[in-house]
């Protein structure tokens, strides 16, 4: 059903071949069922011959019910076969999309079978009425025929409502199918791409000497920096600059140098003094928090293209944090 080039009519969900197969399948079953129902209707003729007038009235009403059942049976058959075919297509052919404008075409594929059944039943019913009612009872005959016609119209209205309901259910199944297929694609994508990304980042971190420092460092061209003079160095990661017209302590963000009293502390301070003391540096704020809990500015510091914090880490005088 899905193989090859699918030529779908603009107003119909089914291809011409599928419509022909549906018509053949429904017509074959409908003829068989209608023939069986008509045999039951014909059986009422014999009952009428051997009945009195009161029994005949009851038989006529029973006959009317049998006619309605025959027509309803054919409408149900056409609806069931169409619904089964539509459902089969949406479950096996992901590229075939059922849309709301297709419902009119679906009705055109179902209702003609109902109309055909009516044309097969109603004339026979009228013939029985004409044969068994005397001219003096024409009003009774007309009332009985009118009642049947009303019943058949009610069956048609009910059938149209059921087509709408069945169509909505098929649309719901199509939506559920599409959602399920999307989840499957995402899972496959995650299974395939996840290990690839993991291997890539493993290679990336293995190839960079100090990956965390590089992550914090956005590069000199990425920081909209202020050019300020470093007035004093306090320790290996803290210094004093003039900010907003007053001296302010600033701390290098992303690294942690030893305290002055700890091993390596004096060396870290001396290295920072050598790099920035008395020099004009460019600073940038790379975190949402502009200051830490001690009121110190949290900054990245650059001298030309040199990231001062990353330089201290590379020399082993500070660690990333």
**Is the pTM value of this prediction over 0.75?**
no
Task: Please state the rounded mean pLDDT for residues 311-317.
Answer: 90
Residue 7 has pLDDT above 50, yes or no: no
Q: Which residues pair with 280 in a beta bridge?
A: 229
Contact 164, 103 (CB under 8 A): yes
What pLDDT was estimated at residue 145? 75
Q: Which residues pair with 301 in a beta bridge?
A: 283
CATH annotation of 214-320: 2.40.50.90
Phi, psi of 263 (to 5 degrees): -60, 130
CA dist., res. 40 & res. 191, Å (int): 63
What pLDDT was estimated at residue 163? 83
Task: Please state the rounded mean pLDDT for residues 127-150.
Answer: 67
Q: How sure is the predictor about 174, in pLDDT bands with cuts at 50, 70 and 90?
A: confident
Q: Which alpha helices (DSSP H) does 50-137 contain, by range?
A: 53-92, 103-132
Q: How sure is the predictor about 216, in pLDDT bands with cuts at 50, 70 and 90?
A: very low
CA dist., res. 210 & res. 232, Å (int): 28
Q: Over the stretch 31-79, which tens digit does the pLDDT of each residue have?
A: 777 777 667 666 666 666 666 666 666 777 777 777 787 778 778 888 8
3-state secondary structure of 249: strand
**Percent of the chain, pLDDT > 90?**
12
What pLDDT was estimated at residue 42? 66
Kindly list the domain boundaries of the chain, sorted by start residue: 16-192, 214-320
Q: Over the stretch 226-281, which tens digit does the pLDDT of each residue have?
A: 888 999 999 999 999 988 888 999 999 889 999 888 888 899 999 999 999 999 89
16-49 and 53-92 helices, crossing angle to 10°:
170
């Amino acid at each position: 059903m899905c193989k090859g080039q699918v030529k779908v009519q603009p107003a119909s969900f089914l291809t011409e071949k599928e419509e022909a197969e549906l018509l053949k399948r429904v017509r074959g079953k409908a003829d068989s069922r209608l023939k069986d129902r008509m045999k039951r209707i014909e059986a009422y003729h014999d009952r009428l011959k051997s009945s009195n007038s009161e029994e005949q009235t009851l038989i006529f009403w029973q006959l009317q019910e049998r006619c309605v059942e025959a027509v309803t049976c054919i409408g149900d058959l056409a609806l069931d076969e169409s619904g089964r075919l539509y459902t089969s297509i949406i479950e096996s052919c992901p590229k075939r999309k059922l849309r709301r404008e297709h419902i009119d075409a679906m009705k055109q594929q179902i209702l003609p079978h109902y109309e055909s059944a009516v044309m097969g039943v109603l004339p026979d019913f009228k013939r029985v009425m004409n044969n068994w009612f005397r001219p003096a009872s024409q009003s009774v005959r007309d009332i009985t025929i009118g009642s049947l016609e009303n019943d058949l119209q009610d069956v048609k209205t009910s059938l149209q409502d059921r087509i709408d309901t069945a169509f909505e259910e098929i649309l719901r199944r199509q939506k559920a199918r599409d959602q399920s297929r999307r989840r499957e694609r995402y899972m496959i994508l995650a299974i395939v791409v996840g290990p690839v990304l993991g291997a890539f980042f493993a290679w990336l971190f293995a190839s960079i000497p100090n990956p965390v420092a590089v992550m914090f460092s956005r590069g000199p061209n990425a920081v909209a920096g202020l050019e300020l003079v470093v007035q004093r160095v306090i320790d290996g990661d803290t210094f004093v600059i003039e900010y907003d017209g007053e001296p302010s302590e600033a701390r290098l963000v992303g690294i942690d140098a030893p305290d002055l009293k700890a091993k390596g502390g004096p060396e870290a301070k001396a290295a920072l003094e050598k790099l920035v003391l008395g020099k004009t540096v460019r600073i940038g704020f790379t975190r949402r928090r502009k200051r830490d809990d001690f009121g110190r500015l949290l900054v990245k510091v650059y001298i030309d293209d040199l990231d001062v914090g990353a330089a201290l880490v590379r020399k082993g005088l500070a660690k990333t944090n």
